[in-house]
Amino acid sequence: MKKCKIYSLVILILSIQNSSIAQEIKLLKTTHFPNYSSASTIAFYNNRIYIIGDDAPHMLILDTGYKILDSIRLFTNKTKRIDKDAKADIESSFLFYTNNKLYLIALSSFSSKNRNSYIAFDLSGKGKKPTVKKQRNFLPNGINHLNIEGAAWMGKNLIMSNRANLTNKINHLLIAEFNLKDGISQKKIKSVVINLTQDHGLTGISGLTYLAKNDMLLFTASTEKTLNSYDDGEIGASFLGIISNASAKMKSKNINADRFINLSDFLGRTALQKIESIAVEVDTNEFMILHLAADNDNGESTLFKICIKK
């Protein structure tokens, strides 16, 4: 079975290389999940895809063809959607290695008093239940309000994206320490302004992932007409951003994306999608295969698999 999977992947790579790879982005697959609410974070590890919705009581585990393999309960709520005032608002996740174990860590948005949880799920073993912990809310210097929507592990630090809105119009990357016991360190959190074009309206970062091999930070962003970090707004365009030499640029106070691509032009004939998160399945010298999660605030979710030329 493993040889079949490797063979299928080789065929896919060759077909991409020999087809319309000249096109910047190619849509490979779209799957709609009408019964899973608000997919807000996506992670990839060992041919498995991990999805968490910001108001969903459980996590989905999928294969790379988006077939559901497992569903793991995170919260005790038995409704399809956790109430807006009660939800932990899980919006981001990253892979974290410590004590010879690999964990999937998922973070709340920290946009209100009760949205201050982090989830740790042991990917190294079987039958492990996720641990949900609370931590004290924090507000770094120079930041008026928090809405953490993306997270990635870079070297020895956690990188988080603080999403802009019509009241707080600046997107920040926050650099912090993290440990399994205490969560995000409250000390010495550095903020970096990331400049995004506003040609389509105010654009806020919605997801992050980091490729250590290439020192490349990938992010998703979208336009949404909302005055704050609590309420949803009208959905607009979604984007993919790429920052090269990312670790060096984190030392600056102000950075720009090297590439910033309008995803709405490539996602097929579906309605406008609010892309919330990004994960990398394949990374070669010529292209990457990415997974995108979309949440359109309607109690459903959509996943996209795309190929992007480097």
Question: Which residue has better confidence, 171 or 223?
Answer: 171
For residue 168, pLDDT beyond 60:
yes
**Model confidence band, residue 270 (pLDDT cutoffs 50, 70, 90):** low
CATH of the domain spanning 24-309: 2.115.10
Q: What is the pLDDT of residues 96-143, one digit of tens each?
A: 999 999 999 999 999 998 999 999 999 987 657 899 999 988 899 889
For residue 12, pLDDT beyond 60:
no
For residue 172, pLDDT beyond 50:
yes
**Model confidence band, residue 3 (pLDDT cutoffs 50, 70, 90):** very low
What does the pLDDT average to over 18-30?
73
Q: What is the pLDDT of residue 43?
A: 98
Q: What is the pLDDT of residue 90?
A: 98
**Model confidence band, residue 21 (pLDDT cutoffs 50, 70, 90):** very low
Q: What is the pLDDT of residue 101?
A: 93
Q: What is the pLDDT of residue 22?
A: 44
**Model confidence band, residue 13 (pLDDT cutoffs 50, 70, 90):** low
Q: What is the pLDDT of residue 293?
A: 97
- The full DSSP string for the chain is -HHHHHHHHHHHHHHHHHSSTTSSEEEEEEEEETTS--EEEEEEETTEEEEEETT-SEEEEE-TT--EEEEEE-SS--SSS--TTT---EEEEEEEEETTEEEEEEEE---STT--EEEEEESSSSSPPPEEEE------TT-SS--EEEEEEETTEEEEEE---SSS--EEEEEE-EETTTEE-SS--EEEEEE---BTB-EEEEEEEEETTTTEEEEEEEEEE-SSSSS--EEEEEEEEEESSHHHHTTSSEEE-SEEEEGGGTSTTSPP--EEEEEEEEE-SSEEEEEEEE--SSS-EEEEEEEEE-
What does the pLDDT average to over 249-265?
94
**Model confidence band, residue 164 (pLDDT cutoffs 50, 70, 90):** very high
Q: What is the pLDDT of residues 75-98, one digit of tens each?
A: 999 899 999 999 999 999 999 999
What does the pLDDT average to over 238-267?
94
Q: What is the pLDDT of residues 185-207, one digit of tens each?
A: 988 899 999 999 877 788 999 99
Q: What is the pLDDT of residue 18?
A: 47
* Share above pLDDT 70 across residues of the chain, in percent, rounded to a whole number: 87
Mean pLDDT value across the chain: 89
Question: Which residue has better confidence, 167 or 132?
Answer: 132
For residue 271, pLDDT beyond 80:
no
Where along the chain do its domains lie? 24-309
Q: What is the pLDDT of residue 273?
A: 82
What does the pLDDT average to over 212-225?
91
